[in-house]
Structure 1
Amino acid sequence: MDWLGLRFGTELPADGQVLLACTHNSWLVLLAFLVASGAGYCAFDMAERVAHAQQPEIRRRWTWLGACCLGGGIWAMHFIAMLAFEAPIAIDYDIPTTALSLLLVLAVSLVGMHTLGRPSAEPRHYFAAALTVGFGIAAMHYSGMAAIRSVATQYYHPGMVAISLGVAIAASLAAMLLSSFFRERSDSHKLLKIPASLAMGGAICSMHFTGILALQLAVPAGTELHLERADNALQLGLSLAVIAGIVLVFAFCVVWTDKKLQGKERDLLHVSNLLRELEQVKVKLQNVAHYDALTNLPNRRAFNEFFAEKLKSHAEHRQSMAVMFLDVDHFKRINDSLGHDAGDELLKVVADRVRGVLRREDVIARLGGDEFCVLASLVNLSEARALSQRIMQRMMEPITLAGRNVTMTTSIGISLYPDDGETCEELLKHADLALYQAKGSGRNNLHFFSRHLKHKATFELQLEEELHNCLARDQGLFLAYQPILDLHTGQVTKLEALVRWQHPQLGLLPPDRFIGVAEANGFIAKLDAWVLRSACRDLASLAAQGFHDLRVAVNCSALNLSRDELPDEVESALRESGIRAQRLELEVTENALMRNVNQALLLLERIRGLGVSISIDDFGTGYSSLAYLKRLPLDTLKVDRSFVMDIPGTRAGMEIVQAIIVMAHTLQLQVVAEGVETREQLEFLRAHGCDFIQGYLLSRPQPLAVIEEFLRHPHGLGASNVLPLRPADSNPA
């Protein structure tokens, strides 16, 4: 088979032609190898540039430049290797055919660079490109050989040609895979490019010299043979190598410069991304700092800023404004019964509903817990009431929480600018006072601030501070005692200890003026402990005067009844005073017991275990159950004065008292009637089996010194209407 004057076949001419043996210039062979290695190194770098280029135009430029470097390097290697070829005949080259070989290798190099520039090339792409480039390099080699002009005819052994083609394809595939490898790991495998480039140079040279091994030259018989060393072959090879080297070095410098610029661009982009992320984090932090994460409403900090701005604007335009405090009624009950997730969902619903009622210019914020605040601009004051009523009406619509439909209500306190204050602090404080009043009025209610509320709050704050000082200094507070008469024996067998406060400005204050202050501010336990210790100490003093069997009843607050420390405090008071536990009676109200029956039961059993008696006070005013009364460790039942007052005025009142006495005796409880003021009441109670009486008919609450005199001389202190009457266990001596 002939191609471009080349003959491929195993049969040589047998007409007397002579076969020639050829040699190569070693230095030019080495130079060709170096040029091929340099071309491989530049090709690896160019492939990285092509793959990393972001813009299509830049990718095309790098593709063309890489193809020129790779193709030109391979062609230069081939031409230098041909200059190294030494034969005993004159050899010239055909310029057009040589140019054709250059175009062929440039074309297939372009295909290879295009494949390497794919964002996500698959194995089939690499194999297809390797076949194309391998065939192209082989075509470049043999077309370059066809450019030789001499008297010799070129014969090629097909087997060696096939081997050279396989070497070209294998070298092309290896170049593809190595380029892909370096493209993905360009920073961590820089040093590997050098041996890889040398290996690629060797592979390309191997293909060339494998093709030369397939070559056999034949000249006509009689041709004069002598080795003609071209004097300028070495110079031509060096010149071509220098030119190729300059081109490759230039390309390498361009790649290196681009890498540096791209690195700076990446650094700038990284800095830009960091700045953008910092800005995003700043925005998020601002949102966290100014907005509630659960409801996405402004929080207290943001609300204060909004409030200051709106207040300034309303002051400039002389416009009224309402400050509304909203509190979800019985919100804790939702958390306790349905869980905190349901409570969170409820807060979201509340926020959406209130926001849906408000106008665009109004502001709503969540200040914490279940407390919200609204700022509403007003034309007239009636708008505040109308807006609050719409909010309350919207809140009463059923809400589905944890699979259950619940109906919630809200209490609202309102202060108005400028009537109720001209600063943010004043308006918020006054709205909070109004909310407290609304909740105290039964909830699901709205209340406007009034000066009376401010005076009341100021007064309670003053009372709180002074009561604290009284307890700390043990000054101002004292106990008054009201006798309790045993109707069966006619003896005063018990005293009820009642706390009083001798205020320096307000005079004598009864318990209802300051007990609520102590309960609301968390020191009722301290006050109860003081009363308990004082009563035990006074009872010990009375025992020293001869009243050894006299008992004292001490009231226990409903809040104090939920404290696990109460039994220990009772035991400590008994131990310090030295009196027997049987002489102490603890009075608890019916409502206090029913508030948490199970806990109260445990505490009362512990106290009863000390030997202290337990009495239920104000019976009939609460909602106790007979089943609970049967379970509780009680000794005495006190009939509330509201029932005794109806005796003998109403038949219903007398029947209720009679029924209570019968029920108590059935439960093995003693009965004390409170508020006895008339002889008729006394006779009725005595006739129906009441055990004890207590009231003004016998004596008003008196200080300890007066009580001592009463116990010694009861008839002399106005108790002569109650007969028979004698103090218990008295000893005048």
Structure 2
Amino acid sequence: MSIAAFAELQREVLEAVALGRSLRAVMELLCRRFEALAPGAMCTVLSVDEAGRVHPLAAPSMPKAFSLALEGLPVGPKAGSCGTAAWRGEPVEVSDITSDPLWDDYRGLAMSFGLAACWSSPVFDGNGRVAMTFALYYRQPQAVEPLHRELVEGSLQLCRVALRHDEHERRIERLAYYDSVTGLPNRSLFADRARQALHMASELGAHGALLLLDLDRFKTLNDSLGHARGDEVLRELAQRLQVPLRAADTIARFGGDEFVVLLPGCGAVDAQHVAEKLHAAIAPVVRVAHLDLKISASIGIAIYPADGLELDALLKSAEMAMYEAKRAGRNCTRYFLKAMNSELEKRLSIEAGLRHALTQPGALSVHYQPKVALNSGALCGAEALLRWHDPELGLVPPDRFIPVAEDCGLIRPLDAWVLEQACAQLASWRAAGLAVPNIAINVSPPRFCHDDVAEHVSELLLRHGLSAGDLTLEITERLMLDDNEHASAQLRTLHGMGVRLSVDDFGTGYSSLSYLRRLPVCELKLDRSFVRDIEHDPEDLALARAAIGIGRTLGMAVVAEGVETEAQRALLLDAGCPGAQGWLYAKALSADAFAQWVRERAGAPATQDAAGASVIEGEDGLN
């Protein structure tokens, strides 16, 4: 063999690698060119998977039946020449297969194809794992010829080059088409598969289903535990979610805590069954860093072709259904309904209007509802309540725009704006000689979990000349249940500053009593649902008494919300509730109307209000 001949072999193989031909095609080319330079030798290449099983890549001169017989065989200490070379990680030369013990288990196979000798060498990947073997077979017992040894040495270098290039291409493919955290297909690969499946369904007149799965409150968990542990949870759940699916199904991670499942050939009933299996797969606790985490998911289902003919339309429909599952309480499944389209349009209109309102002076305003002492009617403070009047939508109720603000991330800037307006207004009232003892502001869980509320409050107190005791920040039971460390630290800092903390809508959440003892809360706001029917429903009255008793036992003030009648006031007072707010006293008022309300009541000392309660400003507070 001339040096020029091998140089030509090398050039052809490297050119094939550079042109991006598959590893199988490159190995096939290498084997053919090798055999042309080494008469009498039959060249083969096997790949070795991570489970330690071999798969033929190239064997141009071998019968196909021989390659098929090798498919999936395990490597081992006595697995012929190739299997043993892969096992040992070193070349194995067998000059006579009929007598060598390494071939005891495969001798019959080799002899049936007329093979008498074999020399095999391992090829290592970039991680030092045996990824391939390169072997020469002979029809007669013999040692390897010196020329063949030289050729093999050069060919092994070419194998390594081709293998490295293949690994690089696979890494690029995985980055382009697979999620780096879970290993699942990403949005791009899912879109490609989905469009193929939808095209086939269209041709066959078949159904299909698309499921959008969003993990409930995963962002809070991720922020609490850190992204590394959050990724551990995602990897565990990704493994679980694949178990109930068929080979024809595709699950992908679209980013964050969102997974999408494509079910070709499935109608609504089958899709519901799959959704139930996915809920069941998620339900067992996930153990991360010695913590047992309970994860749930909200799932939206869209059916092809009823809910969309194109992928984008199906995704939009499934997303609307998923948000409906969120609103239904999470950890459940909802189908897309046509009515959701109009609801989505309304929500998008509200979101756009809110974004505009944040930049337009006068679009947003703060109203104030008095908080009074039940035994005397004395003013104890005011709650600041956000109001929004849109030029097109009119006056939008808070229960309509607040959930949208929470979903689209606007709740944090809205919270901050209300806090600033309320502090400025309290300072303005004080400067005008109006004695408003305290002002309460609602602060949402996202703001506590992600912002430095304590720093913001401190800056506002300094700017407006207020003391910490002038403010009450109202939090929700949801914040306590999320148990976010950043939020807990914020609450402790605010308490240390002297800011009062109140639990709003107490009694509407679950399992929060243990947190009440741990967090520095000084007030409970009894939800209006406890108050509404206490005149007529003994059970509601009993629940109200129990909630008031909890507050008193823990040394907290209690304020009943939604008090509208004298009978409600009397029952609450008898139950030991010290404070109230509601239409019996006043609706939420503009700043000017609130000031007038205070002046009118202060101007008639010891007079009776509509409920017969004595109004003496500044006395008989809630504390």
Q: Which bracket does the TM-score occupy, shorter chain normalised?
A: 0.5 to 0.7
CA deviation after TM superposition for structure 1 residue 704, in Å:
1.3
**Aligned residue identity for 1:595:** D
**Aligned residue identity for 2:239:** K
CA–CA separation in structure 2 for the residues paired with 1:668 and 1:426:
55
SS of aligned partner of 2:244: helix
**Among 601, 614, 618, which residue is 1:724 paired with?**
614
Structure 1 pair 728/280, CA: closer, same or farther in 2 (3 Å)?
closer
Question: Is the deviation greater in 265-274 or in 310-319?
Answer: 265-274
Q: Deviations over 1:642-687 (max 9, x none)?
A: 2222333233433443444444334332222221111122223334
Structure 1 pair 677/341, CA: closer, same or farther in 2 (3 Å)?
closer
Match of 1:143 in 2: none
Question: Is the deviation greater in 320-329 or in 714-723?
Answer: 714-723
**Among 325, 341, 349, which residue is 1:462 paired with?**
349
CA–CA separation in structure 2 for the residues paired with 1:553 and 1:441:
29
CA deviation after TM superposition for structure 1 residue 533, in Å:
0.9
CA–CA separation in structure 2 for the residues paired with 1:386 and 1:634:
48
Q: What is the TM-score normalised by the length of structure 2?
A: 0.64
Match of 1:575 in 2: 462
CA–CA separation in structure 1 for the residues paired with 2:166 and 2:439:
72
Question: Is the deviation greater in 601-610 or in 499-508?
Answer: 601-610
CA–CA separation in structure 2 for the residues paired with 1:402 and 1:655:
40
**Among 497, 502, 505, which residue is 1:610 paired with?**
497
Gaps of 5+ in 2: 1-36, 42-92, 96-146
Determine if the alignment matches structure 1 residue 498 to structure 2 residue 388: no
User: Residues 409-448 of structure 1: matches in 2 within 5 Å?
Assistant: 411-443=298-330, 445-448=332-335
Contact residue 299 and residue 367 of structure 1 kept, 8 A: yes
CA–CA separation in structure 2 for the residues paired with 1:604 and 1:509:
31
Q: Deviations over 1:46-79 (max 9, x none)?
A: xxxxxxx84469xxxxxxxxxxxxxxxxxxxxxx
Contact residue 383 and residue 441 of structure 2 kept, 8 A: yes
Determine if the alignment matches structure 1 residue 355 to structure 2 residue 246: yes
CA–CA separation in structure 2 for the residues paired with 1:639 and 1:363:
48
CA deviation after TM superposition for structure 1 residue 368, in Å:
4.5
Match of 1:560 in 2: 447
Match of 1:637 in 2: 524
Structure 1 pair 458/365, CA: closer, same or farther in 2 (3 Å)?
same
Match of 1:646 in 2: 533
**Among 177, 198, 220, which residue is 1:311 paired with?**
198
User: Residues 281-296 of structure 1: matches in 2 within 5 Å?
Assistant: 282=169, 285-286=172-173, 289-291=176-178
Match of 2:365 in 1: 478
Match of 2:139 in 1: none
Q: Deviations over 1:339-365 (max 9, x none)?
A: 755652442342243135xxx5x5554
Structure 1 pair 718/460, CA: closer, same or farther in 2 (3 Å)?
farther
CA deviation after TM superposition for structure 1 residue 502, in Å:
0.8
Structure 1 pair 296/352, CA: closer, same or farther in 2 (3 Å)?
farther
CA–CA separation in structure 2 for the residues paired with 1:627 and 1:367:
37
CA–CA separation in structure 2 for the residues paired with 1:669 and 1:506:
41
Contact residue 481 and residue 498 of structure 1 kept, 8 A: yes
Structure 1 pair 453/276, CA: closer, same or farther in 2 (3 Å)?
same
Question: Is the deviation greater in 682-691 or in 514-523?
Answer: 682-691
Structure 1 pair 514/719, CA: closer, same or farther in 2 (3 Å)?
farther
**Aligned residue identity for 2:273:** Q
**Among 391, 396, 401, which residue is 2:280 paired with?**
396
Gaps of 5+ in 1: 1-52, 58-118, 122-258
CA–CA separation in structure 1 for the residues paired with 2:478 and 2:163:
62
**Aligned residue identity for 1:350:** L
CA deviation after TM superposition for structure 1 residue 597, in Å:
7.2
CA–CA separation in structure 1 for the residues paired with 2:217 and 2:477:
22
CA–CA separation in structure 2 for the residues paired with 1:342 and 1:406:
9
**Aligned residue identity for 1:541:** S
Match of 2:269 in 1: 385
Contact residue 485 and residue 491 of structure 1 kept, 8 A: yes
Contact residue 379 and residue 436 of structure 2 kept, 8 A: no
CA deviation after TM superposition for structure 1 residue 473, in Å:
2.9
SS of aligned partner of 1:514: helix
As a proportion of its length, which structure holds more helix?
A: 1
Structure 1 pair 549/506, CA: closer, same or farther in 2 (3 Å)?
closer
Q: Deviations over 1:424-444 (max 9, x none)?
A: 222222222223333443455
Contact residue 413 and residue 438 of structure 1 kept, 8 A: yes
CA deviation after TM superposition for structure 1 residue 448, in Å:
2.3
CA deviation after TM superposition for structure 1 residue 586, in Å:
1.5
Structure 1 pair 452/534, CA: closer, same or farther in 2 (3 Å)?
same
Structure 1 pair 263/602, CA: closer, same or farther in 2 (3 Å)?
closer
Q: What is the TM-score normalised by the length of structure 1?
A: 0.55
CA deviation after TM superposition for structure 1 residue 521, in Å:
1.9
Contact residue 449 and residue 484 of structure 2 kept, 8 A: no
Instruction: Determine which structure has more spread, i.e. the larger CA radius of gyration.
Output: 1
Match of 1:162 in 2: none
CA–CA separation in structure 2 for the residues paired with 1:625 and 1:406:
17
Question: Is the deviation greater in 692-701 or in 709-718?
Answer: 709-718
Contact residue 608 and residue 614 of structure 2 kept, 8 A: no
SS of aligned partner of 2:358: helix
Match of 2:116 in 1: none
Structure 1 pair 400/355, CA: closer, same or farther in 2 (3 Å)?
farther
CA–CA separation in structure 1 for the residues paired with 2:347 and 2:279:
32
Determine if the alignment matches structure 1 residue 534 to structure 2 residue 421: yes
**Aligned residue identity for 2:489:** L
CA–CA separation in structure 1 for the residues paired with 2:440 and 2:518:
22
CA–CA separation in structure 1 for the residues paired with 2:214 and 2:503:
35
Contact residue 275 and residue 333 of structure 2 kept, 8 A: no
Q: Deviations over 1:433-478 (max 9, x none)?
A: 2233334434554332223222222322222222122123343111
Question: Is the deviation greater in 272-281 or in 571-580?
Answer: 272-281
Determine if the alignment matches structure 1 residue 453 to structure 2 residue 340: yes
**Among 560, 579, 604, which residue is 1:692 paired with?**
579
Structure 1 pair 389/330, CA: closer, same or farther in 2 (3 Å)?
farther
Match of 2:567 in 1: 680
Q: Deviations over 1:469-493 (max 9, x none)?
A: 2123343111111112223444223
SS of aligned partner of 1:665: helix
Q: RMSD of aligned C-alpha atoms?
A: 4.3
Match of 2:409 in 1: 522
- Aligned sequence identity (%): 34
CA deviation after TM superposition for structure 1 residue 603, in Å:
2.2
Structure 1 pair 268/664, CA: closer, same or farther in 2 (3 Å)?
closer
**Aligned residue identity for 1:517:** V
CA–CA separation in structure 1 for the residues paired with 2:166 and 2:518:
66
SS of aligned partner of 1:473: coil
**Aligned residue identity for 1:355:** R
CA–CA separation in structure 1 for the residues paired with 2:343 and 2:374:
44
CA deviation after TM superposition for structure 1 residue 389, in Å:
0.6
CA–CA separation in structure 2 for the residues paired with 1:690 and 1:328:
40
Match of 1:21 in 2: none
SS of aligned partner of 1:588: strand
SS of aligned partner of 1:472: coil
Match of 2:397 in 1: 510
CA–CA separation in structure 2 for the residues paired with 1:400 and 1:547:
55
CA–CA separation in structure 2 for the residues paired with 1:659 and 1:422:
55
Structure 1 pair 546/489, CA: closer, same or farther in 2 (3 Å)?
farther
Count matched residues.
472
Match of 1:585 in 2: 472
Contact residue 601 and residue 633 of structure 1 kept, 8 A: no
SS of aligned partner of 1:713: helix
Contact residue 608 and residue 615 of structure 2 kept, 8 A: no
CA–CA separation in structure 2 for the residues paired with 1:352 and 1:724:
68
Question: Is the deviation greater in 490-499 or in 576-585?
Answer: 576-585
Contact residue 184 and residue 252 of structure 2 kept, 8 A: yes
CA–CA separation in structure 2 for the residues paired with 1:462 and 1:363:
34
Structure 1 pair 271/415, CA: closer, same or farther in 2 (3 Å)?
same
CA–CA separation in structure 2 for the residues paired with 1:401 and 1:580:
45
Match of 2:142 in 1: none
Question: Is the deviation greater in 618-627 or in 299-308?
Answer: 618-627
